[in-house]
């Protein structure tokens, strides 16, 4: 039995999220598993670094699988990509020992959320960014984003359906980057709750529209109630960027992704 790690890029617009669900619901995980199973000529189960909601994208999702099949690296890579739909691609594959686990060995996960702030919607970026036509106080949003750094109870910022046993997370950085009409929220934490990033972005957008002052974030944290946090931002602008692992695993570096996603910090 050999374990392989893979790096995956996908456009999630046509999928009901990463995780395999009930029959008849198309997920990214199941789509890749079906192709890998054909290449391996045996059932393959894929384990991802994290889960993504319906419509959420990834530039560098890390996953792993075990197999008895013997194939060259090019055989795995080319054989899989030739059969995958055009909105999913395996970027690389690497043989690993069984100590590696895509989910449990991840030390941190990083997301970026992209907003296109303009009176006119962007046709070419449909389902790839969230369009906000209203004028925003960007400086205020940048200052507010820093409020989420550190260790907090994110009970108010998780979905009611979240299955995590506890809501405390440590955010190593949370910053807003502006480049022309693009606003990119860059956030990294030891883990994320269901809808956590989208709820944080929803809060920042409300602050940017002068609906609340920055200190209102403290009130939301203190409430420990989802109803206190306001709207959930759409899935369209959210990207799983990468997961951090111990250096000993020597995984390939994250893909750059689209230029409009990788704004200077």
Q: Per-residue pLDDT averaged across 208-222, rounded? A: 94
**Token reading at 93:** 């594959």
53 is catalytic: yes
Angle at 75 between CA 73 and CA 77, to 5 degrees: 70
Q: Per-residue pLDDT averaged across 200-210, rounded? A: 95
- Longest Cα–Cα distance of the chain, Å, equals 59
> Is residue 260 scored above 70 in pLDDT?
no
Which pLDDT tens digit goes with each residue over 166-193?
899 999 999 999 998 999 999 999 999 9
- The per-residue pLDDT for 163 is 78
pLDDT band at 51 (very low <50, low <70, confident <90, very high): confident
pLDDT band at 159 (very low <50, low <70, confident <90, very high): confident
Mean pLDDT for the chain?
92
Residues 164 and 193 sit within 8 Å (Cβ to Cβ): yes
CATH 3.30.70.660 in the chain: give the residue spans.
108-240
For domain 2-105, give the CATH number.
Answer: 3.30.70.580
Residues 83 and 68 sit within 8 Å (Cβ to Cβ): no
CATH 3.30.70.580 in the chain: give the residue spans.
2-105
Q: What is the Cα–Cα distance from 188 to 244, expressed in whole angstroms?
A: 10
Indicate which residue of 53, 186, 236, 244 is catalytic. Answer: 53
Residue 127: phi and psi, rounded to 5, are 70, 5
pLDDT band at 141 (very low <50, low <70, confident <90, very high): very high
Pick the CATH number of 108-240 from 1.10.3720.10, 1.10.8.100, 3.90.340.10, 3.30.70.660: 3.30.70.660
> Is residue 85 scored above 70 in pLDDT?
yes
pLDDT band at 21 (very low <50, low <70, confident <90, very high): confident
Cβ neighbours, 10 Å, residue 236: 21
Report which of residues 191 and 259 the model is more confident about: 191
pTM of the complete model: 0.92
- The per-residue pLDDT for 18 is 86
- The per-residue pLDDT for 162 is 79
**For helices 28-40 and 73-81, angle between their N-to-C axes, nearest 10 degrees:** 130
């Amino acid at each position: 039995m050999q374990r392989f790690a893979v790096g995956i890029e996908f456009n999630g617009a046509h999928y009901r999220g990463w995780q395999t669900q009930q029959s008849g619901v198309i997920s990214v995980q199941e789509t890749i598993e079906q192709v890998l199973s054909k290449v391996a000529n045996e059932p393959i189960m894929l384990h991802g670094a994290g889960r993504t909601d319906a419509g959420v994208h990834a530039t560098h999702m890390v996953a792993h699988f075990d197999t008895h099949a013997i194939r060259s690296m090019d055989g795995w890579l080319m054989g899989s990509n030739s059969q995958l739909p055009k909105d999913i691609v395996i970027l690389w594959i690497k043989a690993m020992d069984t100590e590696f686990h895509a989910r449990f060995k991840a030390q941190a996960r990083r997301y970026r959320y992209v907003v296109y702030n303009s009176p006119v919607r962007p046709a070419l970026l449909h389902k790839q960014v969230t369009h906000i036509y209203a004028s925003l106080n960007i400086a205020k949003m940048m200052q507010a984003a820093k409020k989420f750094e550190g260790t907090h109870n994110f009970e108010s910022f998780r979905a009611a359906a979240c299955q995590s046993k506890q809501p405390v997370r440590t955010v190593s950085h949370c910053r807003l980057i502006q480049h022309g009409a693009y606003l990119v929220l860059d956030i990294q934490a030891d883990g994320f709750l269901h809808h956590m990033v989208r709820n944080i972005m929803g809060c920042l957008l409300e602050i940017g529209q002068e609906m609340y002052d920055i200190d209102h974030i403290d009130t939301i944290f203190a409430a420990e109630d989802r109803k206190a946090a306001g709207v959930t931002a759409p899935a369209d602008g959210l990207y799983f960027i990468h997961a951090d692992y111990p250096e000993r695993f020597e995984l390939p570096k994250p893909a750059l992704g689209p230029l409009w996603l990788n704004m200077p910090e």
